[in-house]
Structure 1
Amino acid sequence: MKKIYFLCTGNSCRSQMAEGLAKKILPKDWEIRSAGVEVHGLNPRAVKSMAEIGIDISENQSKIIDDNYLQQCDLVVTLCGDARDRCPITPSSVKKLHWPLPDPAQATGTESEIMEQFRSVRNQIESKITELKNFE
């Protein structure tokens, strides 16, 4: 079973969306988790943007990185520079990818404009996860 970990600063938006999308897109024999270097709680707009495409992450919890799981992963994906820079050391057997995506939680403007940022980031994550299907 392959293990993948999506990491972000607060495990509230991008990493949560990545976890939800990966569970839908990647093979069922993958163990998929997300976490943060801090705990910020689940962002309701992330929940809403995922619900729009039929993925329910409303019961997810914001979690801190589990070092034991991290050390056993096949792949670690950081979704922000902070997580990449603060991620604990992993064995050389762990492949690391960095997807420097904008933080939709920092978006400003009308509610509609902010939600467009969440959708844009969600769609970018979906595209990148689809490319992972053939990860070896």
Structure 2
Amino acid sequence: MNKRPFDPRTDKIVTVTLDPNTITSVDPDEVHEWRVASYDLIDSNTFYPARVSASGPYALHLSIIANHIVLDVRDPETFRPIAAHYLSLTPFRSLIRDYFRVRESYYQAIRSASTYQIEAVDMGRRGLHNQAAQLLIERLENKLVMDLETARRLFTLICAVQPYAARIPETESELPTVLFVCSMNSVRSPIAAALARKRFPGQLVARSAGVRSGKADHFVHQVMEEVGVDMSVHTPHTMDELMASKFDLIITLAPDAEKAVNERGLEADAIIHWQVNDPSENEGTRESMLSAYRELRDDLDIRLRNSLPKFIGQSDARA
């Protein structure tokens, strides 16, 4: 394939999100490392998916399935899927191990070594990055096109997220599964799923989806940040993108969601509907909007704390 010249206006990643179901950690230092690596990639990159007609800029959503990093390229405004590629981690295992070893040596050198020693370790670190970046470009040939510096930054992000991946596929997990569905997977259902994961870590698998595709909502990011939940990793998904059709519990949060679940034939041991307000429909000042989003967040939190312990207990009893 003949690579076209990069267009700096469109051939770039402007949003990076991580799948909270497969990239998991409650350690603030680890989450901080993901954020720094994501920001570095967004700050400077040249990138476009090959063999597609869609033009950029792009959003990049990362998830981990078994031994693969999924590089899911989407429209940054609508999160409409553009291209997705599975990248095997096997060829990168030794490079990832070396990355952490060399990184630790570099940190130790900064604390106590001479300038010459620091420069020597840094040279080795750069050489490792270049080797990994070149391999990344080769493995993604005819799939995703990027320059060497972008590949270096993407490799750093992959290193940051892969040690903390949830390695058990959901289809093999014995944890109870709950699906939250609203209209556009922008506000109600992602907040509910994030709060469920926060309140009951390691006790359930919480997914969310929309009847149709929506946009990321920055009010959601702000009010969830207030309770220690990073929602910048959320990418809106539709019900068509669900990997499973059977759940232990489905909770619908909008009238059209209730109807869509029935029409699409999703199966569950229990399907319940919660009538909750959509704060994005409110009009008013920024503060009044934030107040409406906080009310939704707190309402869902109360409902989850009251309802899910019984659901988890019933699932344990059936196991």
The partner residue of 2:223 within 44, 49, 53 is 49
Does the 8 Å contact 1:77/1:99 carry over to 2? yes
Gaps of 5+ in 2: 1-174, 315-319
Task: Note the alpha carbon deviations across 1:24-55, whole angstroms, 9 max, x for none.
Answer: 11251311110101110221101111001111
In 2, Cα distance between equivalents of 1:13 and 1:95: 23
Identity of aligned residues (%): 28
- 1:116 is the counterpart of 2:291: yes
Counterparts of residues 89-128 of structure 1 (less than 5 Å): 89-91=265-267, 93-128=268-303
Higher relative contact order (CA 8 A, sep 6+): 1
Q: Secondary structure at the match of 1:94?
A: strand
Does the 8 Å contact 1:8/1:80 carry over to 2? yes
* Aligned AA (1:103): D
Paired residue for 1:26?
A: 200
Could you say which structure has the higher helix fraction? 2
The partner residue of 1:83 within 257, 280, 293 is 257
* Aligned AA (1:123): D
In 2, Cα distance between equivalents of 1:83 and 1:99: 11
Could you say which structure has the higher strand fraction? 2
* Aligned AA (1:125): L
In the alignment of these two chains, the number of paired residues is 134
* Aligned AA (2:284): G
* Aligned AA (1:61): T
Task: Note the alpha carbon deviations across 1:37-93, whole angstroms, 9 max, x for none.
Answer: 111022110111100111111111000114552x220000001111111222233x5
Does the 8 Å contact 1:26/1:130 carry over to 2? no
Paired residue for 1:11?
A: 185
* Aligned AA (2:228): G
Task: Note the alpha carbon deviations across 1:78-117, whole angstroms, 9 max, x for none.
Answer: 01111111222233x5311111101011011111011100
* Aligned AA (1:63): H
RMSD of the alignment, in Å? Answer: 1.3
TM-score (norm 2): 0.41
In 2, Cα distance between equivalents of 1:30 and 1:12: 21
Q: Secondary structure at the match of 1:5?
A: strand
